[in-house]
Amino acid sequence: MAISLAHFGVDSHFVTRLPPNPVGDAALRVLRAEGVGIDAVQRGGERMGIYFVEAGASQRPWSIAYDRAHSAISELDPSSLDWPKLLRDVAWFHTSGITPALGPGPAESTRRAVQAARELGVTVSLDFNYRRMLWSASSAKEVLPSLVRYVDVLFAGEDDLRTFLGIPIPHGALDPASLDLRACETAAARVVSEYGVRQLAITLRENLSASHNGWSALLYDGPSKTLHRGPRHVVHLVDRIGAGDSFVAGLVFAQLDGKPLDQALRFAVAASALKQTIPGDFNRVSVAEVERLGDAEDGGRVRR
């Protein structure tokens, strides 16, 4: 997310906690290489969370084994972060539902962050990113809805809306194969009116195979009461990890850049489609590279 924004030329900073050992050093080195500001990275804790990935192919799914118990960030002390100071002169603050899932410290820190951001007039976005291997739905339900009160732009899926926000929505309404645009619109409007968010963004993935996925997204805009539908790209997957984050980064950049909604959504969908053609977690594409893709499935000529 922060890395993708840095590649779009945005002055982006990452607030996290890394252990004071060579593994933490290596993480810092990577952030620095990709151009992310690291002045708000705290050093401390026992270990860095890691994960092991088996790349999927065709019918064989990608498989991730997480090993992030007791990570430095999970033992974050909320009082160690001075959010009003960290957020000074910041235009946008983004956080993910994974952070509060990591423990009471990160959860409290997230709450303080979004509250401070709202008070300072910083735009706040949240990606639900619910992971049932990290916490139960009932634990998440105690935390996530209360964060949404401070959120301007929410990234969520069908189950998230139903389970955490209590929005009634027909099963499969957000499934690309049976997309019910009217039901989406109704549900999105309720999220806006009940939770005070400004926009709701929803990514749409079609699992054509483990190698080929359809990829698109919806964006509901509260003020204009309009539902926008992005273009659909069929991606020959290289690495699907990081698709969600790169979509967020695309939408954040495009709105900061003042693009109109349709164009912003198009940019975010194209950016995250490109991410899935890049090995590794990072979306290293530039604004020009995203815009060159445009809407069309124009494939990739050699540029020379």
Note whether 262 and 217 are within 8 A (CB): no
7's contact among Ca ion, Ni ion, its own copies, none, with CB below 5 to 8 A by partner kind, is Ni ion
Which of 287, 281, 284, 282 lies closest to 268, judged by CA?
287
Taking the least distance from each CB to Ca ion, the nearer of 52 and 223 is 52
Residues within the interface to Ni ion (CB under 5 A) = 7, 32, 211, 236, 242, 245
Applying CB under 8 A, among 2, 48, 73, 191 the residue interacting with its own copies is 48
User: Per rule CB under 8 A, is residue 80 in the interface with its own copies?
Assistant: no
Smallest distance from the beta carbon of 38 to its own copies, in angstroms?
10
Using DSSP's 3-state secondary structure scheme, residue 261 falls into: helix
Note whether 114 and 83 are within 8 A (CB): no
Q: Which of residues 209-238 bind its own copies (CB under 8 A)?
A: 209-213, 233-238
Smallest distance from the beta carbon of 52 to its own copies, in angstroms?
6
Q: Give the integer Cα–Cα distance in Å for 35 and 18.
A: 17
Q: Give the integer Cα–Cα distance in Å for 251 and 271.
A: 9
Note whether 141 and 101 are within 8 A (CB): no
Half-sphere exposure at residue 11, Cβ-oriented, CA atoms within 13 angstroms: 4
Which of 280, 275, 274, 276 lies closest to 298, judged by CA?
274
Residue nearest to Ni ion (CB): 245
Q: Give the integer Cα–Cα distance in Å for 176 and 202.
A: 11
Note whether 223 and 198 are within 8 A (CB): yes
Per CB under 8 A, the segment of 30-38, 160-168, 190-198, 246-254 that binds its own copies is: 30-38
Taking the least distance from each CB to Ca ion, the nearer of 123 and 272 is 272
Tokens representing 127 are 């990606």
Please give the size of the binding site for its own copies, defined by CB under 8 A: 63
Applying CB under 8 A, among 43, 60, 88, 149 the residue interacting with its own copies is 60
Q: Which of residues 219-248 bind Ca ion (CB under 5 A)?
A: 244-245
User: Per rule CB under 5 A, is residue 157 in the interface with Ca ion?
Assistant: no
Residue 251 neighbours by CB under 8 Å, 6+ apart: 153, 201, 219, 264, 265, 267, 268
Beta strand 153-155 pairing with 123-127: parallel
42's contact among Ni ion, its own copies, Ca ion, none, with CB below 5 to 8 A by partner kind, is none
Q: Give the integer Cα–Cα distance in Å for 77 and 104.
A: 9
User: Per rule CB under 8 A, is residue 64 in the interface with its own copies?
Assistant: yes
Smallest distance from the beta carbon of 133 to its own copies, in angstroms?
7
177's contact among its own copies, Ni ion, Ca ion, none, with CB below 5 to 8 A by partner kind, is none
Taking the least distance from each CB to Ni ion, the nearer of 125 and 191 is 125
What single DSSP character describes residue 55?
A: -
Q: Which of residues 241-270 bind its own copies (CB under 8 A)?
A: 241, 270
Applying CB under 8 A, among 42, 44, 62, 190 the residue interacting with its own copies is 62
User: Per rule CB under 8 A, is residue 34 in the interface with its own copies?
Assistant: yes
Tokens representing 202 are 């929803």
Smallest distance from the beta carbon of 197 to Ni ion, in angstroms?
22
Residues engaged in binding Ca ion (CB under 5 A): 244-245
